[in-house]
Amino acid sequence: MPASKRDHRRLLVGSLDPLSSLATPKLGNTATARPFGREHRQPIDRNRELARCLRRETYDMNVPTHITDGPERQMLEYMLDHTRAELIDTVRGLSETESRRRLVPSMTTSIGLVKHAAFAERKWFQHILGGLPESECDGAMVGEASFVVSDNETVADVIAEFERASNRARTIAANIDLDATRGHPAVGTVSLRWIYLLMIQEFARHAGHSDILREQTGATRRT
pLDDT digits (tens, 9 = 90+) for 34-46: 333 333 334 445 4
pLDDT digits (tens, 9 = 90+) for 125-157: 999 999 999 999 999 999 989 999 999 999 999
Contact in structure between 103 and 216 (CB atoms under 8 Å)? yes
Confidence (pTM): 0.72
- Please name each of the domains of the chain with its CATH number: 3-222 (1.20.120.450)
Contact in structure between 99 and 91 (CB atoms under 8 Å)? yes
pLDDT confidence tier of residue 166, bands split at 50, 70 and 90: very high
Backbone CA torsion sign across 14, 18, 21, 26: positive
Helices then strands, counting H and E runs in the chain, come out as: 7, 4
Q: How far apart are CA 194 and CA 200, in angstroms?
A: 10
Q: How far apart are CA 101 and CA 97, in angstroms?
A: 6
